[in-house]
Amino acid sequence: MEPLPQSSPPPPAASRKRKRTEKVASSPAPSELGTPEVLSSRTDLFSRPQLSVSRGPFFIPISDRSSSFFKTDPVGINRVGFRYSPAGIKSPGCYYPFRTIESNPLSYRVSWEDRSPFLYVTKDGLGLSGTKGFRSARCNAPVREGSWYMEVKIVRGGGDASTEGHREGCHVRLGWGRREAPLNGPVGLDGYSYGYRDKTGDKVTLSRPRPYGRPFESGDVIGLYISLPSLRKPNKKDPHDPAHLKRERIAIDLKGQEVFEIQEYPQSKEMIALMDYSGKSSNTASLPSVSNKKAGAGKLPERGPAVPTRTNTDNLRPLPTLSNSHIAFFVNGECQGIAFQDLYDFLQLRSPEVSRKAKEKKRARGGVKEHKENPFDDGTLGYYPFISLFNDACVQLNPGPNFDFPPPPDIEPLLVNPAAIIPEDQKPTWRPICERYAEFMEEQWQLDEFDEEEAKEEFARSDAQERAAAEKQAQRQKKKQQAEARKRAKMQPKERSPTVGDDDRTSYAGAQPSPLRHATTAPEESGDPDDERLVYGGAQPSPLRHTTAAYEPDESPAPIGLEEDSLVYGGAQPSPLRHTADYELEPSPASIGPDEDRLVYDGAQPSPLRQATAVYEPEQSPAPAFGTPNAQSGYTSENGEMDAEDSSTHMQLVDNLDYMHQCED
């Protein structure tokens, strides 16, 4: 018994929440899932191979078709307002590191990039096959001036049955088109192209067929002839003349191959306005359809009265034409006459000043690598052979010089009188389109030299601007430093230089000690709170003193002698009870007057706080002592604290001071 198939879980219910589309880059990746990289680093560029011919395309066979037609990869096929062309890297030392290169085969053919992705090609680029609907392709070089001729053989067309079962059959339209003509539509769809139909033999432009010649079918050879006047020279005094040559392109990496990405020329509103049929009213407003549905069920909001809209033709720019220009077609060598004449000029319309300033302001807010519209001629403007295939129609191009039905040396008389006889020995007035490819590539390489010169000038300008900016910055910095120096010189206070002693105590010269303090007591680190010693200017200042600077005794001897009830202050330091400079204790004879029982300082001025008659007398002494010759000066050699004997001496000193104050009272 066969096992039952495992039941798969039901698919999750579709979320009703609208999904947000992911943001895409401003320029699409041509035939590529990933986004192409912009080539900017010169170090990376010079490490890449320098090619003169592009690597591509690689031909991919079609499984359900004949092996003579292929898809191409990797090729940046023009789409979504952008077009692509092969790019190469120059040698180091160039100001502009990229240049135009060719792709195989090096001849006039269908462009690998400038075609609909639904068209298949042969390896020589001369065979073209369609799939479904109208798809178009341009050749790889435009016609800008002069008279040119080529042939196209109809392999499958004229309404033949489709090999894929399409009910409408296969059809072909041939003609000439400009850069702005869309590739996913037939030639003659708008004013940018002029075509010839196989089904009726009508000529068509602006989607308006007009009777012209006889129909053609499979096996016929159609000759395409175009004559254009000489190319207009740009006005050097007018910087906004559209005839100036200028390219706007960015080099990117596409599957390991450098290509130029260029924003395609947009269709102008003046050309779009030509599509308005004269018989169609422009002021009609759509009305809601009549239905039997209940009121309120899916009811559209009420609309106001139809306001007639007027087409504003005042702001439309005039459309220039090319005088003495015309297009003609041949069927199996038979001239069908002039189909179109006075063709629209392929140069861009002059940009209005307001629009030009708005675009420049927008570009200033954008980045350096931002694409922008080019109002000038980049060398690719002109009329291209334009081939449109419906369903699986198929054609074969013949750019010359050997034609199946060679036209006479001078085609112009045939356009007026098809029966005119032209001598065979006359010099041809037209050229086969195959000669246009080499000429076009020379024009592109000449533009590469212009780009190099422009990049060199731009580099010189930017270098001069950077140097000027650096000099200005240096001058500003120098002036700023000078101003700061002047400001510091005016605002800088007078600095005082402190004297640092050996026991980390600071004494300020000229500072007056507090008249209310004699010393501060601090307990020893031994931990005995009762053992207090006299400290002069220790780390902890008295809360009653005016300065927090530590007292530091000098190295000069300052002995103090205390015998019986007499206290002697000697040395160069004044009384510790008056506002004087820092003092040191030195031995000096002193006595207490027996008559008034007052303390006398020999040779010293009495304190302003008391009446003292002691005479202060400076005297050099080798060592300070309290009372006894070998006693210390009140400070130990290790920590500057007073011993117990000096502490008792200090207490006697305090008692004597209290006694003196009582006597004064």
Q: Is 80 exceeded by the pLDDT of residue 468?
A: yes
What does the pLDDT read at residue 494? 56
CA distances from 514 to 30, 126, 156, 548, 641 (A): 92, 113, 121, 11, 20
What does the pLDDT read at residue 620? 53
Residue range 287-296: average pLDDT? 42
- Residue 176 has phi, psi (to 5 degrees) of -130, 140
Distance (Å, whole) CA 451 – CA 378: 11
The 10s digit of each residue's pLDDT in 574-592 is 544 444 444 444 444 444 4
The 10s digit of each residue's pLDDT in 407-444 is 999 999 999 888 888 888 889 999 999 999 999 999 99
What does the pLDDT read at residue 164? 80
Q: Residue 337: in which H helix or E strand, if any?
A: strand 334-341
What string of DSSP letters covers 121-189? Answer: E-TTS-EEE--SSEEEEEESS-B-SEEEEEEEEEEE-TTBPPTT--TT-BEEEEEEE-TTS-SSS-TTS
The answer to whether residues 431 and 439 touch, using CB atoms and an 8 Å cutoff, is no
Contacts for 495-500 with beta carbons within 8 Å, 24 or more apart?
498/549, 499/552
Q: Which of 165-169, 480-484, 656-660 has the highest mean pLDDT?
A: 480-484
The 10s digit of each residue's pLDDT in 298-321 is 444 444 444 444 555 668 999 999
Q: Is 70 exceeded by the pLDDT of residue 3?
A: no
The answer to whether residues 519 and 535 touch, using CB atoms and an 8 Å cutoff, is yes
Domains of the chain and any CATH numbers: 37-241+249-266+321-346+382-418+432-460 (2.60.120.920), 506-665 (no CATH)
Q: Which residue has the higher pLDDT, 591 or 654?
A: 654
Poorest-confidence range of 77-86, 335-344, 413-422, 557-566?
557-566
What does the pLDDT read at residue 130? 94
Distance (Å, whole) CA 509 – CA 582: 7
pLDDT band at 543 (very low <50, low <70, confident <90, very high): very low
pLDDT band at 569 (very low <50, low <70, confident <90, very high): very low
Distance (Å, whole) CA 607 – CA 615: 12
The 10s digit of each residue's pLDDT in 363-389 is 544 445 678 889 999 999 999 999 999
Q: Which of 156-165, 191-200, 635-644, 647-656 has the highest mean pLDDT?
A: 191-200
Hey, which residues does 143 pair with through a beta bridge? Answer: 383
Q: Is 90 exceeded by the pLDDT of residue 659?
A: no
Q: Is 70 exceeded by the pLDDT of residue 191?
A: yes
Residue range 615-639: average pLDDT? 47
Q: Is 70 exceeded by the pLDDT of residue 624?
A: no
Residue closest to 147 by CA, chosen among 445, 409, 496: 409
Share of the chain above pLDDT 70, in %: 59
Q: Which residue has the higher pLDDT, 335 or 522?
A: 335
What does the pLDDT read at residue 45? 77
What does the pLDDT read at residue 664? 59
Q: Which residue has the higher pLDDT, 294 or 212?
A: 212
Amino acid at 639: N
- Average pLDDT over the chain, rounded to whole? 75
What does the pLDDT read at residue 256? 83
Q: Which residue has the higher pLDDT, 24 or 322?
A: 322
Residue range 44-54: average pLDDT? 85
Residue range 229-250: average pLDDT? 95
Helix (H, G, I), strand (E, B) or coil at 86: strand
Q: Is 70 exceeded by the pLDDT of residue 662?
A: no
Poorest-confidence range of 93-97, 148-152, 195-199, 219-223?
93-97
DSSP symbol at 554: -
| Cβ neighbours of residue 178 closer than 8 Å, sequence gap 6 or more | 192, 193, 344, 346, 381, 382, 383, 384
pLDDT band at 165 (very low <50, low <70, confident <90, very high): confident
What does the pLDDT read at residue 287? 38
Distance (Å, whole) CA 119 – CA 36: 23
Q: Is 90 exceeded by the pLDDT of residue 567?
A: no
The answer to whether residues 345 and 320 touch, using CB atoms and an 8 Å cutoff, is yes
Contacts for 293-298 with beta carbons within 8 Å, 24 or more apart?
none
Residue range 544-571: average pLDDT? 45
The 10s digit of each residue's pLDDT in 171-185 is 999 999 999 999 999
What does the pLDDT read at residue 22? 44
Residue closest to 415 by CA, chosen among 161, 586, 212, 597: 212
What does the pLDDT read at residue 76? 85
